[in-house]
Structure 1
Amino acid sequence: MTQKKNLLNTLQKRFFKSNTKRGEGLRKNIMGLLALRGVAVGISYLRFPVTLRFLGAELHGVWLTVGGIINWFGFFNVGLGTGLRNKLAEALARKDTKLARIYVSSTYAIISIISFIMLVMLIISAFTLDWPKIVAVSESYEGMLVATLLIVFTFFAFRFVLKLIGIVLVADQRPALSQMLQTISSVIFFIGIWLALKYRIMYGNLVVVGVLSSGSVLLVLVVASVILFSGRYKNIRPSIKYIDLHEFKSLASVGIQFFVVQISVIIMFSTDNIIISQISGPSDVVPYNVARKYFGITEMLFMIVLEPFWSAFTQAFVKKEFRWIRKSINKLVVLWGISVGVSLIMLALSGWVYRIWIGELVVVPVRLSVLMMLFFTIKTWNNVFVYLINGVGKIRLQLYMSIVIALINIPLSVFFAKNLGMGSGGVILGTIACLAFGAVLHPIQYKKIINGTARGIWNK
């Protein structure tokens, strides 16, 4: 026990402890994120088998696919959420409250308009598209599927606007509070689905899962928005009279570039379930997601440390604190190396963990586990440098890479999965191939930016 405590103290001192105000803020946020996200992830891992038992393998695969589709639309804020994150962080660093309120008000206004348009389109799609065919299930599920989609789409439209409160918290370097909202939602969802399974409430019905999943998030966001904009953020709460189209252009110029990058992210990370469902059937989506959840633990832990750095990098770059940025990146690279070692241990134990966690309900091929581990290893490596690049808004190179990736990701995934007969493993291999571009180019761009030698596309 003493050795474990000493190890934790050493890690905290080496990576998190700082005498500066920014460093102390990062340390507190990292520790808060570690606790809160640990609870959220623990709940999600407990919820996974409960939901699987409630719905069965086929309908659970359908739910995962529907969730992936919803995640696509989560990026359709035209990058304004990310633009707000950067611009608001800059305004708060300069203590310009009026400009901060203009940014917040303008973003809420345009996101509300986008949300309304999107809701109309989604409702029309629920009645006009052949959803059983899209998710590859029997026509007998059509009524249940349409009802679920209408509920999820409606809740999502409101959530689309209200989740901006999380962006405000992150821009103010309070990501732990943003995570708290997600954790509370996860707890409510878990309690709901556990009670539904225990008392057989509409057993095996997608509608129940849709209401619990979407409703829990919406409820928490409504309460949080009222509390925060009535208290701490009263001076920057959205107001019609602070909507400024001139400043909106500033937000949009950054946001549209982030939007294109996000489209690429959608294609890489949210189409996998549909591709697998179409090639191998919805049941094959489940082992893919089991492996993804398991090896995603390393990314989750790594992102807990990385999350507070985005806005911190923005403020440090504005204040030209380049020495602090270099030291921070070096520490993050060391932590990435540690995460790789943890991933290898997880790979060795994966078969045993799957049996304890899921039992005989799902079989995960070893090849899929290896590829999933490699996927998260490359993804976290990229994020070390992407968070700095995004924080300072130099994303033109990333924009062009994203366009290339958007064009080749799905064909590559289908080729590996279908033509080479690799199934779900081929789908993730296609994504790995796309991530390889950034694994080389992002570190090069970081060095050019921080050394003051970035020119042309490297500095845009």
Structure 2
Amino acid sequence: MVQVSGKERSSNYISQVKKSVTYKAAAVAASFISVPIMLRYLGNESYGIWSTLLTLMSWVVFFDLGIGNGLRNKLAQSIATNRPDEARAYISASYSWIGAISGVLCAALVIASYFVPWQRVFNTTSLDNSYLSTVVATAIFFVLANFWISLINQILGSIQKSSLVVLGQLISNAGGLLAVYILYLTTSPSLLYMTISYGLSLCAGNIALSIYHFSRHKGSRPRPLFSLGVIRPLLTVGLQFFGIQLAALAFFATDKIIITQVFGPESVAVYDVVFKLFAVVTLAQGLILAPLWSAYTDAYHRGDFTWIRAAFKRQIAIYGATSILTIVMAAAAPTIIDLWTGFAVKVPRYLIGSMAIYIIVATWVNIFAIFLNGVQKIRVSFLVSVTAVTINVPLSIYLATHTNLNVAAVSIGTTIALLPGVFLGPYQAIKIIKQKDLGIWSH
């Protein structure tokens, strides 16, 4: 598990990227194929409701108080400093506390879901409110179950086996594609059936990874452990990430809600298709960056700044290539979307252009964010995130309601809000790499 030199760390990194690319290509293909099938199965309005529901459900992952990310960093640190007993305790405490949190949240949210006016939330009258409540309650159950078992992803990330995380995504996406195709062939349109099939496929990947990992590493299997002394270090680290996660929640998850409320759920389908197309770029970058999180942690705690500098140079060179790819995709996007969706949605060019600019900005910010996460210097990242949220929501609403930009207004507002991170993230990273006096940048 332990990388003991820069050469071995680099070799493992290259291996993880190669495997991740293979698995992710198949996972993305499964996801892309499923989109037009879902559009035909549900129709534009129900698909928009479905997409918005997934956005709302994504909020659940932030209720772990940052324990998951705290586990990833502290576990990687324990491995780098050769403290196996400490590592095992962190795993057990994380599973115990997240399991308890998931159980309590599941009971509370399922009950609460039957008192929410979901027709108003989704801006629709085509589906009965009681039916929507059942759909939401079902989604809550599956998402919270996965919320607990997905801790395996943090463990695999900490031991620099991120390709296995992508393999889990492939299993989930392939299962989801098979499920939606069966639904399309055998049933009438049903959000409830879609939710159940999505939930089962979502959990399948992480269950498979958990069985694989803990059968090979029996000594790290979690056991009940609610020790405050063990969980406290994870919370100390995790709460810093939690603040950034909450800001990210408000920053990204509100986009579809704004579109739903201002333009209606049908417009969410248009926005979501364009977003999914350009997400190929961020997914590709994610494959490259994901193994670096814990690799940066390992290198930082070993004082291997030479390796860190070399890694940064490679990432900036790759960024140039992904930016060119984004521009090419923008030019070809109308044709790709027509062929992909079977002309099911009509996408305006200004939405394509604004999304391309957003991707170019976001991928730059991600290069430095992953490093700062790995070395746990995230105070400035938190301040930048809060600033971005403060700008994004009101600006997106204003542009959406006071201009003729339509849904492109939301991606433009999001891009503008990201701009502080374009400069401050690189500045802090450079100071850390040069090991200068960091002052307020030290956390």
Confirm or deny that 1:357 pairs with 2:349: no
Paired letter, 1:141 = D
Confirm or deny that 1:413 pairs with 2:399: no
Q: CA 1:243 to 1:127, structure 2 compared with 1: closer, same or farther past 3 Å?
A: closer
Query: Which of residues 237, 241, 246 in structure 1 aligns to 2:221?
Result: 237
Give the alignment of 1:390-405 within 5 angstroms: 390-405=373-388
Confirm or deny that 1:100 pairs with 2:105: no
Query: Which of residues 240, 250, 253 in structure 2 aligns to 1:270?
Result: 253
The answer to which of 405-414 and 179-188 deviates more is 405-414
Q: 2:203 maps to what in 1?
A: 218
Question: Is the CA contact (8 Å cut-off) linking 2:6 and 2:307 kept in structure 1?
Answer: no
CA RMSD of superposed structures (Å): 1.5
CA distance in 1, matches of 2:127, 2:15: 51
CA distance in 2, matches of 1:349, 1:236: 48
Unaligned runs of 5+ in 1: 1-17
Question: Is the CA contact (8 Å cut-off) linking 2:168 and 2:208 kept in structure 1?
Answer: no
Confirm or deny that 1:209 pairs with 2:194: yes
Q: Give the fraction of aligned pairs with identical amino acids, expressed as a percent.
A: 30
CA deviations on 1:281-312 (whole Å, 9 max, x unpaired) are 00000111111111111111111111100000
The answer to which of 297-306 and 272-281 deviates more is 297-306
Q: CA 1:279 to 1:76, structure 2 compared with 1: closer, same or farther past 3 Å?
A: same
Question: Is the CA contact (8 Å cut-off) linking 1:171 and 1:311 kept in structure 2?
Answer: yes
> How many residues are matched?
439
Paired letter, 2:133 = V
Give the alignment of 1:12-91 within 5 angstroms: 20-91=7-78
Confirm or deny that 1:246 pairs with 2:222: no
CA deviations on 1:352-385 (whole Å, 9 max, x unpaired) are 1111111321011111001111111111101111
Q: CA 1:95 to 1:372, structure 2 compared with 1: closer, same or farther past 3 Å?
A: same
Query: Which of residues 316, 328, 334 in structure 1 aligns to 2:317?
Result: 334
Paired letter, 2:78 = A
The answer to which of 357-366 and 40-49 deviates more is 357-366
Alpha-carbon shift at residue 176 of structure 1 (Å): 0.6
Question: Is the CA contact (8 Å cut-off) linking 1:79 and 1:255 kept in structure 2?
Answer: yes
Paired letter, 1:395 = I
Query: Which of residues 135, 138, 146 in structure 2 aligns to 1:151?
Result: 138
Provide the TM-score with structure 2 as the length reference: 0.96
Q: 1:141 maps to what in 2?
A: 128
CA distance in 1, matches of 2:331, 2:142: 41
Q: 1:279 maps to what in 2?
A: 262
CA distance in 1, matches of 2:160, 2:232: 24
Paired letter, 1:168 = I
CA distance in 2, matches of 1:247, 1:140: 47
The answer to which of 129-138 and 92-101 deviates more is 92-101
SS of the equivalent of 2:342 reads coil
Confirm or deny that 1:453 pairs with 2:440: no
Question: Is the CA contact (8 Å cut-off) linking 2:156 and 2:162 kept in structure 1?
Answer: yes
Provide the TM-score with structure 1 as the length reference: 0.93
Question: Is the CA contact (8 Å cut-off) linking 2:90 and 2:230 kept in structure 1?
Answer: yes
Hey, which bits of structure 1, 4+ residues long, moved more than 4 A?
Answer: none
Unaligned runs of 5+ in 2: none
Confirm or deny that 1:380 pairs with 2:363: yes
Give the alignment of 1:179-198 within 5 angstroms: 179-198=166-185
